[in-house]
Amino acid sequence: MAQDLISTPLQYIKGVGPRRAADLARAGMLTVEDLLLRFPMRYEDRAAPCEIRHLKPGMTATVTAEVVSSGVRQTRRPGFRLFEAIVRDATGGITKAVFPNQAFLKDVFTPGQRVVLFGALEYRPSGGLQFTNPEYELIRPEKDADDEDASVHTGRIVPIYEKSGTMTPRMQRALVHRLLQDLPKDVADPLPAPIRERRGLPSRADAIRAVHFPPPGTNVDELNAFRTPAHQRLIFEEFFLFQAGMVLRKRRHAEDRKPRPVTVDDRIRESARKVLPFKLTEGQRVALREIVDDMRRPEPMNRLLQGDVGAGKTIVALLAALVAMENGLQVAFMAPTEILADQHYLTIRRLLDQSRFRIVSLTGGLTPAKRREVHAEIASGTAQLVIGTHALAEADLAFHALGLVIIDEQHRFGVMQRASLRAKGRHPDVLVMTATPIPRTLALTTYGDLDVSVIRELPPGRQPITTVSKSESKREEIYRLVRKQLDARRQAYVIYPLVEESEKVDLRAATAMADHLQQEIFPEYRVALLHGRLKQEEKDRVMSAFARGEVDLLVSTTVVEVGVDVPNATVMVVEHAERFGLSQLHQLRGRVGRGEHPSTCVLLYQFPLSEDAKARLRALVETTDGFVIAERDLEIRGPGDFFGTRQSGIPTLRVGDLLRDHALMEEARREAVAWLDEPAASRALAAYVSANWAARFGLVGVG
Ligand code: ADP
Ligand code: MG
């Protein structure tokens, strides 16, 4: 039984009950192990709480005190009432806790009640030093207090948990305390003993105990920074297991064998040269060589091609596709949006015009009859290259001989879609491309199972983009700047934010803006509007008119964000720039500066401007280097938001933090790679990881 405790579902634990179990489950805790691996969000030193007489304004403190009196005070603002409690601690110091509009607390803070208060102190001229809206916890009066009050909730360093539904931090503390008493000393430890010993890490059982109920004397600042040996050990464990899974996954793929690796001869080289409209940059050449080398190997390629916006990834992918097709293999090219898929389709069809290959497009917008026809061509092999959206990953699409899968703008696709497209061939080569430079830290986690090629430089002849951020009040000046470009026969974008919550309003604003620009500002130029709500044909019509230069100024929502390529467009005005994310603005900006003429990007903002928004605009003005921007974005937003969705391949980490702990992640990777190099020793770890990886990290399994 004892050994099983850790895997016991929480609903079977005495005192948890169905309601609490459901609340915990909603917060991601199903088993005792889940609960024990949920770190307290912070710690309070209730062994040595601050004495009230030592409190000072501006300080954040914990005090243990008794309620002297309390009551609701009317304020001069109508309907606004303050609940106030006067409290006194054991040394006789007196202070006040104020809770705006929480009159119900008068039944809670009754005279004689013992409480722990935690929060920031402020000084009010009217009433002196006070806690405003502090966190509080009630302690039973001294006379009724039991052992639990004395030993679990006070008189020690106490863990504070995040509230999960009806499960209060205090209840969770009591529950964890109880479970830890039943926890055996020798909890199974997935960390190999030699690694643990060499790194001087505590055992799993000891670490779990110390992280919840730190031994007396532990430094509270270190606890709150998650830096104690116990914290570090559990974070290392998490990273180590994650990296072990990545290594195993990569190794498993490496055991796969393609039915037939590609070969490259002079005839193929010649056919590639023929389609090439320009000389490849050094970066493109190196990337292409790495890709083709992979394709010639017996094990399937799993490669990420990273290159900033405009670096020229498409042509590299196309040449790889050509090599596959010359070898009698089919190629699937998946793009994240229909606009982008169509654009790739048009570009590639133009480049391969003279070739003998048949290229088809497959998107969600096809009629059923057309779709059937395209499916049939792919199944029979008469079409060699299919370019499309996630419609390519649909279950009823079968290939004749799929040999290469190319996925553009990877982070928009789920790992699932990558897997299901891959499954349509017999171990096809996979090339994923992304224009979001992945900060080193994240690359290690999201793409740890991929090999990486990076195109650093942009094609020659590109003019730098000048970026300025301007307040709305400078609108006239900006219009003059746009007009100058239009007069020089260049084209312009005006970008409108569109967020789901206010979609209707935003759409109306974008539409009104397009009308206004056409009628009042640029009557002699052709203005068009593009947004996601238009019918597919309409979108296509607008976009290709802009690409052909038949539209001078395109007012658009962020549907042009990824990959759209119109080299003659040299100015972009982003309305409400303060509402966009940093990476998104960088992607948008990449729509200009794609041709031979210098370009300008104007970020128009409106007040109020948050600190984050200011930081974003500043970063964009300062640099056009996507890698720098990605690092900044990560700092501002944190890893969870960086990619948007969980499906993106970011693991669900419960104790580690990719930013805070990235050095530890690198060490964990090194240790995992080294450990798994020893087949005999690594068997136990491999078994543990296969059984637990998917559940622990919320990702597609290793096996
Ligand atoms: P991205 O990497 O953002 O997908 P694209 O593949 O769309 O970039 O390329 C951006 C533009 O640069 C395209 O117009 C493409 O034709 C052009 N381009 C790509 N490589 C080169 C090169 N080596 N020399 C000149 N132009 C190039
Ligand atoms: Mg692209």
For residue range 281-315, list pLDDT tens digits in order.
999 999 999 999 999 999 999 898 988 878 899 99
Between 435 and 426, name the one with better pLDDT: 426
| Ligand 1 within 6 A of CB of 135 | no
Between 637 and 534, name the one with better pLDDT: 534
Q: Answer yes or no: do 27 and 69 share one domain.
A: no
Would 298 be classed as within a structural domain? yes
Residue in 572, 584, 594 with CA at minimum distance from that of residue 617: 584
| Ligand 1 within 6 A of CB of 306 | no
Does pTM surpass 0.75?
Answer: no
Q: Answer yes or no: do 35 and 81 share one domain.
A: no
Please, which pLDDT band fits residue 2 given cuts at 50, 70 and 90? Answer: very low
Would 117 be classed as within a structural domain? yes
Q: Give yes or no for residue 141 having a pLDDT over 80.
A: no
| Ligand 1 within 6 A of CB of 104 | no
Q: Give yes or no for residue 129 having a pLDDT over 80.
A: yes
Q: Stretch 475-502: mean pLDDT, rounded?
A: 89
Would 664 be classed as within a structural domain? no
pLDDT in tens, 229-245: 999 999 999 999 988 98
Would 547 be classed as within a structural domain? yes
Q: Stretch 124-133: mean pLDDT, rounded?
A: 86
pLDDT in tens, 29-58: 999 999 999 999 999 988 888 899 999 998
Q: Stretch 438-458: mean pLDDT, rounded?
A: 75
| Ligand 1 within 6 A of CB of 312 | yes
Protein residue with its CA nearest to atom 20 in ligand 1? 312
CA 72 to chain CA mean position, Å = 45
- Cα dist from 303 to 310, 407, 450, 648, whole Å: 19, 10, 5, 16
pLDDT above 70 as % of the chain: 91
pLDDT confidence of residue 422: 84
pLDDT confidence of residue 1: 42
- Ranges of beta strands (E only) in 276-427 are 302-307, 330-334, 359-362, 385-388, 402-408
Q: Answer yes or no: do 531 and 565 share one domain.
A: yes
- Here the CATH number for the domain that contains residue 412 is 3.40.50.300
Ligand nearest to the CA of 408: 2
CB neighbours (10 Å) of residue 57?
12
Q: Answer yes or no: do 469 and 446 share one domain.
A: no
Please, which pLDDT band fits residue 644 given cuts at 50, 70 and 90? Answer: very low
**Structure tokens given for 633:** 């974005």
Angle, alpha carbons 36-37-40 (nearest 5°)? 85
Protein residue with its CA nearest to atom 17 in ligand 1? 312
pLDDT confidence of residue 645: 40
Q: Give pairs for 191-194: CB < 8 Å, separation 24+.
A: 191/233, 191/236, 191/237, 191/240, 192/675, 192/681, 192/684, 192/685
Cβ pair 313, 322 in contact under 8 A? no
Please, which pLDDT band fits residue 647 given cuts at 50, 70 and 90? Answer: very low
Ligand 1, residue 408: give the atom nearest the CA. Answer: 4
Q: In what order do the strands lie in the sheet with 553-556?
A: 465-471, 599-605, 569-574, 491-495, 553-556, 527-530
Q: Answer yes or no: do 286 and 379 share one domain.
A: yes
* CB burial of residue 221 (10 Å; 0-12, 13-18, 19+): exposed
Would 645 be classed as within a structural domain? no
Cβ pair 94, 130 in contact under 8 A? no
Q: Answer yes or no: do 85 and 136 share one domain.
A: yes
Q: Please provide residue 386's backbone torsions phi and psi, each rounded to the nearest 5 degrees.
A: -120, 130
| Ligand 1 within 6 A of CB of 313 | yes
Mean pLDDT score across all residues of the chain: 87
pLDDT confidence of residue 223: 96
Q: Give yes or no for residue 418 having a pLDDT over 90.
A: no
Ligand 1, residue 315: give the atom nearest the CA. Answer: 6
Cβ pair 298, 257 in contact under 8 A? yes
Q: Answer yes or no: do 117 and 77 share one domain.
A: yes
| Ligand 1 within 6 A of CB of 278 | yes
Q: Answer yes or no: do 429 and 567 share one domain.
A: no
pLDDT confidence of residue 416: 66
Domain count, the chain: 4
Place of tokens 């590299």: 316
Cβ pair 428, 355 in contact under 8 A? no
Protein residue with its CA nearest to atom 5 in ligand 1? 312
Q: Answer yes or no: do 487 and 536 share one domain.
A: yes
pLDDT in tens, 317-362: 999 999 999 999 999 999 887 778 888 898 899 899 888 999 999 9
Report the separation in Å between the CA atom of 623 and the middle of ligand 2, taken as the mean of its atom positions: 20
Give just the sign of the alpha carbon dihedral 452, 456, 461, 467: positive
Give just the sign of the alpha carbon dihedral 493, 586, 283, 272: negative
Q: Considering only 338-342, 464-468, 524-528, which range has the smallest mean pLDDT?
A: 338-342
Residues near ion ligand 2 (CB < 5 Å) are 563
Please, which pLDDT band fits residue 387 given cuts at 50, 70 and 90? Answer: very high
User: What domain range is 127 assigned to?
Assistant: 50-143
Q: Give yes or no for residue 86 having a pLDDT over 70.
A: yes
Ligand 1, residue 279: give the atom nearest the CA. Answer: 23
Cβ pair 310, 593 in contact under 8 A? yes
pLDDT confidence of residue 703: 46
- Which residues, in sequence order, are CB contacts of 92 under 8 Å at separation 6+? 53
**Domain end point (choices 225, 240, 256):** 225
Chain length of the chain: 703
Reduce the DSSP state of residue 352 to 3 states and report it: coil
pLDDT confidence of residue 500: 58
* CB burial of residue 206 (10 Å; 0-12, 13-18, 19+): middle
Please, which pLDDT band fits residue 648 given cuts at 50, 70 and 90? Answer: very low
Q: Are strands 402-408 and 330-334 parallel, antiparallel or unpaired?
A: parallel
- Rounded Cα distance between 693 and 697, Å, is 6
Q: Stretch 424-447: mean pLDDT, rounded?
A: 78
Please, which pLDDT band fits residue 700 given cuts at 50, 70 and 90? Answer: low
Would 513 be classed as within a structural domain? yes
| Ligand 1 within 6 A of CB of 436 | no
Q: Stretch 73-89: mean pLDDT, rounded?
A: 86
Would 539 be classed as within a structural domain? yes
**Structure tokens given for 650:** 């970011």
Cβ pair 410, 304 in contact under 8 A? yes
Q: Answer yes or no: do 475 and 328 share one domain.
A: no
pLDDT in tens, 229-286: 999 999 999 999 988 988 888 888 888 899 889 999 999 999 899 889 899 999 999 9
Report the separation in Å between the CA atom of 1 and the middle of ligand 2, taken as the mean of its atom positions: 56
| Ligand 1 within 6 A of CB of 173 | no
Question: DSSP string of 638-655?
Answer: -HHHHSS-GGGS----SS
Q: Considering only 210-224, 335-349, 433-447, 539-553, which range has the smallest mean pLDDT?
A: 433-447
Q: Are strands 60-74 and 114-124 parallel, antiparallel or unpaired?
A: antiparallel
Would 258 be classed as within a structural domain? no
- Rounded Cα distance between 561 and 436, Å, is 12
Please, which pLDDT band fits residue 95 given cuts at 50, 70 and 90? Answer: very high
pLDDT confidence of residue 451: 85
Place of tokens 């305390």: 177
| Ligand 1 within 6 A of CB of 459 | yes
Q: Give yes or no for residue 577 having a pLDDT over 60.
A: yes
Q: Answer yes or no: do 481 and 613 share one domain.
A: yes
The alpha carbons of the chain give a radius of gyration, in whole angstroms, of 31
Q: Answer yes or no: do 410 and 292 share one domain.
A: yes
pLDDT in tens, 527-562: 999 987 888 788 878 988 998 999 999 999 876 655
